[in-house]
Amino acid sequence: MKKTLIAAAIAAATLSPVAVMAQGAAATAVAPTVGAKVYGPDGTEVGSVEAVQSGVVTVNTGTARAGLPVASFAMREKGLTIGMNKAQLEAAVSGAKAESSAELASAFVADAPVKSSDGVVLGTIGKAEGDDVFVNLSNGSVAQLKKSYFGLGADKSLALGMTAASFNSQLQSSSGGQPGADAQAAPSGAAGAAATPTGQ
């Protein structure tokens, strides 16, 4: 399974420490630290804390990564505990990824707006053929991009993993070659590596 990072939106109720605390009153809220082991409500190891940033704790199970709110953790006898075991967390990650992929696939419709990572509308979808997407740009030209360059923004609109300024700069300097293979937007629509659009 490909490593995946999902947002803190995994059903917070499912991951709530309430489920963990139901096993005993000894559970207490904690501040997770990088490298700490994470356990499920049954005491089995789920993974370890990979990062803590802005109230989101990234848990790496070895095959999946999930961003969980700090409130999802409690301290139990073994250590940091969440309300899911490893299999349940990985299933939630897989389900969220599949749902996100399905939403993204259905977003490539004619005239759908395409935004930059900083929210600027760059143009609209002209057509999608296989892995290629033709974007009718605001300046009247057409850019041919790969579907893998797109993600979904917070408002569920199509977004590229680069700012409008970077996109326009790449468009002006494009020599007509295909965009680089590393130019992908994150599935969540967060900024990814810069795409090199092909202006036509």
Percent of the chain at pLDDT > 70 equals 72
* Cβ 32 vs Cβ 17: under 8 Å: no
Residue 151 pLDDT:
84
3-state secondary structure 25-87: CCCECCCCCCCCEEECCCCCEEEEEEEEECCEEEEECCCCEEEEEHHHCEECCCCEECCCCHH
Residue 145 tokens read as 């991009």
Whole-structure pTM value: 0.49
Q: Looking at residue 28, what is its pLDDT?
A: 53
DSSP string, 86-104: HHHHHHHHHHHHHHHHHHH
The residues spanned by each domain of the chain are 5-88, 106-199
Q: Count other Cβ atoms within 10 Å, centred on residue 62.
A: 13
Taking residues 89-115, report their average pLDDT.
88
Query: Which tokens sit at 85?
Result: 């075991």
The number of helices, as runs of H, and strands, as runs of E, in the chain is: 4, 14
pLDDT at 163 over 50: yes
If you classify domain 5-88 with CATH, what class do you get? mainly beta
